[in-house]
Amino acid sequence: MFSSSTVTTLLRQCTISWSNTIVPVRSKNYLNRPRLRNPVWFVKKTRTLHNEQFTADNTAFLNEVKRETILAASQRSQTTLLKLAHGEQNGHLVQWSPGLKRTGVIAKKIGQYPLWTKDGQKIRTTLLQIIDNEVVKYIPPEEYRPAQEPRQSRNWRKPYGCLLVGAEHGDPSLFTKEYAGLFQDSGVLPKKHLCRFIISPEAQLPTGTALTVSHFRVGDYVDVRGQTVDRGFQGVIKRHGFKGMPKSHGVTKTHRRPGNIGAGGNKARVWPGTRLPGHMGNRWRVLRGLRILRINPQYNVMWVMGSNIAGNTNGIVYIYDTILPLRQHGSKGGPAGPPPFPTALEPLPANSGDVWLEDLHDFRKLSITYSAGSE
């Protein structure tokens, strides 16, 4: 038989060895820190501006050349889309099937607006505008080697390629030579925003192809990724929603403090993941399964269900086909019919008017009618 002192010593050694091998973490299993700067492999976008001392006539001439160049680029993108529709590029188009991954689009969050169903229920929506999206480059699976490998393992049976998409025309004179060189071989004007989309090889698009709001349809479910508003250093009440200490009855200078944050004894430390004051916002967040309720082809605007999409007004967000199994195309709860694949080859005309979901009340139609015999 062991004595009481021997048992106590063994239990203490087991406790010490357990604490050295297993690190308990509260809530999340990682520390989510904001990214304050771009990775080192990103080229510098804007250059240092100097006073070129142009005259008024020279400035007007340069602005006219810029407008003509942007107009020619937009016409060229429409021509590329027509060639793709007629099969003059990429050969025969592949029909969509479950498991194929399409490209996403880059949009701008322009505000919020309420919509109503036919039975009077109010729905809060967010307006997202797809601004001058064009394909810049396609990288096949055998050549795509990202600077940082994703967390999930690479699928060698069905490898994915990478499609580089740019959005919003920019002034070429404001960009650096290295950044403008990314668009040299594509024939696309330098864009303000770039994004890489992981797609199936069957969904590749030629460079210069325009991506409009017709890439999605009313009733589709999408995932929207955005960067939250940067709030800076905040306390626990605003950052985590703590209640705070009582306002009176002996409380002094601790009204907005977090209180006790640790335990005593052998584990006298602060656990990683404890909710404390710190930097709030500037994190990437994804909302999944948001339904498209309304589309405006003239201005490339879509009304997406929900009012909590991350980002400031006029901030950039990325829109993808949803990955939720019960909301994808071809699933029981998803939209009927296949999506436009690889994109909408015949976009909706600009003068066709808005496209509404059937369950919504269209404000262009009358809601109350009176007959001649009614009192």
Three-state helix/strand/coil letters over 133-165 = EEEEEEECCCCCCCCCCCCCCCCCCCCCEEEEE
The reply to whether 259 falls in a domain is no
The residue range of the domain holding 196 is 56-86+99-145+159-232+279-356
- What CATH number is attached to the domain comprising 210? 2.40.30.10
Q: Tell me 101's DSSP state.
A: -
At residue 171's C-alpha, the angle toward residues 204 and 83, to 5°, is: 30
Q: Half-sphere exposure (CA, 13 Å, Cβ side) for 76? A: 15
Q: Where are the alpha helices (DSSP H) in the chain?
A: 4-21, 56-85, 177-180, 236-240
What pTM was estimated for this model as a whole?
Answer: 0.82
The reply to whether 327 falls in a domain is yes
The reply to whether 5 falls in a domain is no
37: alpha, beta or left? (left if phi > 0; alpha if psi -120 to 50): beta
The reply to whether 8 falls in a domain is no
In this prediction, residue 21 has a pLDDT band, given cuts at 50, 70 and 90, of: very low
The predicted-structure confidence for 242-294, as pLDDT tens digits, reads as follows: 999 888 888 888 899 998 887 777 778 888 888 999 999 999 999 999 999 99
The reply to whether 40 falls in a domain is no
Residue 55, classified by CB atoms within 10 Å of its CB into exposed (0-12), middle (13-18) or buried (19+), is exposed
Give the H or E element holding residue 358: none
**pLDDT of amino acid 330:** 86
The amino acid that residue 183 corresponds to is F
The reply to whether 188 falls in a domain is yes
- Number of structural domains the chain divides into: 1
User: Look-up: residue for tokens 């939209």?
Assistant: 335
Give the mean model confidence (pLDDT) for residues 118-129: 94
In this prediction, residue 188 has a pLDDT band, given cuts at 50, 70 and 90, of: confident
In this prediction, residue 352 has a pLDDT band, given cuts at 50, 70 and 90, of: confident
The reply to whether 326 falls in a domain is yes
Instruction: Tell me the chain's radius of gyration from C-alpha atoms.
Output: 28
Least confident of 129-138, 169-178, 210-219: 169-178
Structure tokens at 349: 């005309």
